[in-house]
């Protein structure tokens, strides 16, 4: 068998004799998952649906929202500390604080990825 064909076959999956994919999609996939996860109580159902207590792998994706919340919280303090500045100057000062803040996800220790 041609190695390229074998690679393509491995990537797209196999098909049965009727030309149908053996990969379930949409409702069929949902039904297969529901059948595999049988729970007889609410706790069992919640544990089957939970994603686990996984640590956030990509906090930098939420950095804009985190910065906005930090800015909204710090702006009244900065206005009290430095009266008379323009809004852009306040935002610059807040951004300088954000770069050093422990709330900034880029300042958090990164988990070591195992390969």
pTM of this prediction exceeds 0.85: no
Confidence of residue 89 (pLDDT cuts 50, 70, 90): very high
pLDDT in tens, 18-77: 555 566 666 777 677 666 666 677 777 666 665 555 556 676 778 888 899 999 999 999
**pLDDT at residue 14, as a whole number:** 54
Say which DSSP state 18 is in. T
| Model pLDDT, residue 31 | 73
Predicted pLDDT of residue 109: 76
Q: How confident is the model at residue 85 (pLDDT cuts 50, 70, 90)?
A: very high
Q: What is the DSSP string of 43-111?
A: HHHHHHH---SPPPS-GGGGHHHHHHHHHHHHHHHHHHHSTT--HHHHHHHHHHHHHH-TTSGGGSPPP
Is 102 a residue whose pLDDT tops 60? yes
**Of 105 and 67, more confident:** 67
Task: Give Cβ neighbours of residue 94 (< 8 Å, ≥ 6 apart).
Answer: 70, 71, 74, 75, 78
Residues 79 and 87: their CA atoms lie apart, in Å, by 9
Please write the tens of the pLDDT for every residue from 5-14.
666 666 666 5
């Amino acid at each position: 068998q041609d190695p390229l064909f074998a690679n393509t076959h491995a990537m797209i999956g196999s098909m049965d004799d009727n030309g149908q994919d053996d990969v379930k999609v949409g409702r069929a996939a949902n039904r297969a998952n529901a059948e595999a996860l049988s729970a007889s109580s609410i706790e069992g159902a919640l544990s089957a649906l939970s994603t686990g207590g996984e640590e956030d792998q990509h906090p930098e994706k939420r950095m804009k929202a985190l910065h906005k919340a930090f800015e909204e919280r710090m702006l009244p303090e900065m206005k009290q500390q430095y009266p008379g500045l323009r809004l852009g100057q306040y935002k610059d000062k807040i951004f300088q604080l954000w770069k050093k803040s422990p709330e900034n996800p880029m300042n958090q220790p990164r988990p070591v990825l195992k390969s």
